Amino acid sequence: MQQELKKLVSHYHLLKKKMAHLRGDKEKHLGTLSLDALNCTTKLKEYQSLGEKILKTAELCRKLETEKEKVLPFY
């Protein structure tokens, strides 16, 4: 009876260690994933800003085009 109890206690502690180790790994993975998502969001905002600048520049250039350039954009 005492031996079975010791086995159960040791098995319990082993499982608890495994769970703690897996939990630590998952927390690291979640942290990495969160940082990657933040970096991705930042980069996408930079791309959006660049795209908006390009569109604004194109609108300004369109105003300065001659009638011929507006009718025949490709030669």
Kind plus residue range of the DSSP H or E element containing 5: helix 2-64
Higher pLDDT among residues 75 and 53, named by residue: 53
Of 41, 55, 9, the C-alpha closest to 17 is: 9
Q: How confident is the model at residue 3 (pLDDT cuts 50, 70, 90)?
A: very high
- Give the separation between CA 2 and CA 10, rounded to whole angstroms: 12
pLDDT, one tens digit per residue, over 19-59 is 999 999 999 999 999 999 999 999 999 999 999 999 999 89
Q: Is the pTM of this model over 0.95?
A: no
All structural domains of the chain with their residue ranges = 2-62
Instruction: Tell me how far apart the terminal alpha carbons of the chain are, to the nearest angstrom.
Output: 95
Residue 65 tokens read as: 């085009």
